[in-house]
Amino acid sequence: MAKNIMIVGTGSSVGKSIVTAALCRIFKQDGYSISPFKSQNMALNSYVTENGEEMGRAQVVQAEAAEIEPMVEMNPILLKPTSDVGSQVILMGRVHRTLTASEYRKEVPNIKGIVKKAYNELNDKFDIVAIEGAGSPAEINLRENDIVNMGLAEMVDSPVILVGDIERGGVFASIYGTIMLLEPEERERIKGFIINKFRGDIEILNPGIKMLEEKINIPCLGVLPFTKLDIDDEDSVTTRFNKNVDNDVNIGVIKLPFVSNFSDFTPLEMERRVNVRYITKKEDFDNIDFLIIPGSKNTIKDMEYIIKSDLDKLIYKKHKEGIPIMGICGGYQMLGEEISDPLHIESNMDRINGLGLLSTKTVINEKKDTLRVSGKLNGESINGYEIHMGKTERFNCKPFIELEGNRFDGAINDKGTVYGTYLHGIFENDNFRINIIEEILEKKGLEKDKDKTSFEEIKQGEYNKLADLTRTNLDMDKIKEIMGL
């Protein structure tokens, strides 16, 4: 039977995912087999396993840190918001239903068995299971039938570590308040707390830590400094959307209301000469060398947003200027002439005009394609994965990629300036990414880099940096003692 540890947080985006990833890499380095686990993830950032099952990207990152293949058991429930009140519910990698929050809560008691079974699969296969909570464990209105925080810790009998974010302010109050809102038996499970994202002199912080330890009778396991790491974060509450600094290569990504799989652009963000700018207004189009329309969880609504916000006019302007335009998944659908939704799967609209930059038409249907694919583009190997509902038909344009099995993906216009693909993760292909960057550098009369960047090497280096940072600043001996190692 595996040992376990659960990381919960005082709120969303305090660093639970990153701390869990750090523990995955550290214990892997120490010779243990370790798996991440998050019973329920709400995110539009998803991934497809080898078996064609959809899961949250955060657990994929943690699996990569543990140097194991992602399995859907690591994230048995994925909620993908399709509106302000509803989400598509993915159970064990397959679409279940689209439900409102209240409808989903009624189904939770029936889902508990799925969560426990998935956990037991990992429990039998690995030495350690590193569990990540969701949001805050002190959301007392959601305590009944909780399967993601302290309810889950009780279900699998796990010790718990609480993470607080000092950058947002009030870290002592948030840690104290979280502890005080827990039931006495739940407090007993909290074996330590971590303060994350600290900047400054630790000696100034230490008196507060000591006072807090005395008040809650729980030890501080360490303080993690604020550090820039190129590791995918879990959701769109991220600093990546706030960057707007020109570089040798400026790539614009339309920031859609229902943007999905923004992790597609992490390999571009890791390139030192590239600035990825997330576009919401006219000024963001300035100095753009390459424009991308990303994936969407609600293509109809996002296409409507582009039209109503006049972003379509700015996209056409860039097209006339000769700026290359690429669409990924939902973005590919939007580049076509029409998107129809006869079954009203995404909205109450029957159809909407696309941008008309590719001679394609898309029909949204109930079947969701989730698969990994390989193929050739300009004679070079290319890999990715598909996650989409809808079938796109080409008319007067060529396919973009030749896939294995005599299949084709995407479309490209005659001039090669507009193209679309269903492949997520396409920029992880080093040759594809570097070729785009080098074409832009050549067009601008700038020198190309002699050394090529390997995305996989950079990524593994970042996981090692995270592990080193965590070992230096956390009491790992105490954490191992808490886990019974």
Let me know whether 139 and 264 are in one domain: no
Let me know whether 256 and 200 are in one domain: no
Residue 240: inside a domain: no
Distance CA 160, CA 4 (A): 9
Instruction: Identify whether 220 is a catalytic site residue.
Output: no
Q: What is the pLDDT of residue 438?
A: 95
Which residues, listed in sequence order, are joined to residue 164 by a DSSP beta bridge? 195
Let me know whether 181 and 289 are in one domain: no
Residues in the chain: 485
Residue 399: inside a domain: yes
User: Of 170, 152, 194, nearest to 40 (Cα)?
Assistant: 152
The structural domain count of the chain equals 2
CB 153, CB 190: distance < 8 Å? no
Let me know whether 422 and 474 are in one domain: no
CB 441, CB 348: distance < 8 Å? no
CB 325, CB 285: distance < 8 Å? no
Instruction: Identify whether 388 is a catalytic site residue.
Output: no
Let me know whether 205 and 261 are in one domain: no
> What's this model's pTM, rounded to 2 decimal places?
0.89
Let me know whether 45 and 177 are in one domain: yes
Q: Which of 24, 388, 397, 424 is catalytic?
A: 424
Please, which residues have CB within 8 angstroms of residue 304's CB and are 6 or more apart in sequence? 347, 349, 352
Q: What is the pLDDT of residue 142?
A: 80
> pLDDT tens-digit profile of 181-224?
999 999 999 999 999 999 988 999 999 999 999 999 999 999 99
Ranges of the chain with pLDDT below 70? 84-85, 233-244
Which residues, listed in sequence order, are joined to residue 35 by a DSSP beta bridge? 129
Distance CA 36, CA 58 (A): 9
Q: Tokens representing 221?
A: 């396991």
Domain range holding 203?
3-231+460-483
Helix H or strand E encompassing 62 = helix 57-65
Let me know whether 132 and 207 are in one domain: yes
Q: Which of 24, 220, 329, 397 is catalytic?
A: 329
Residue 453 backbone zone (phi > 0: left; psi -120 to 50: alpha; other: beta): beta
Let me know whether 478 and 333 are in one domain: no
Tell me the CA distances in angstroms from 444 to 175, 288, 315, 346, 441, one per residue in order.
Answer: 51, 12, 21, 41, 5
Amino acid at residue number 61: V
Q: What is the pLDDT of residue 237?
A: 46
CATH number, residue 360: 3.40.50.880
Q: What is the pLDDT of residue 204?
A: 92
Give Cα 48 distance to the centre of its chain: 12
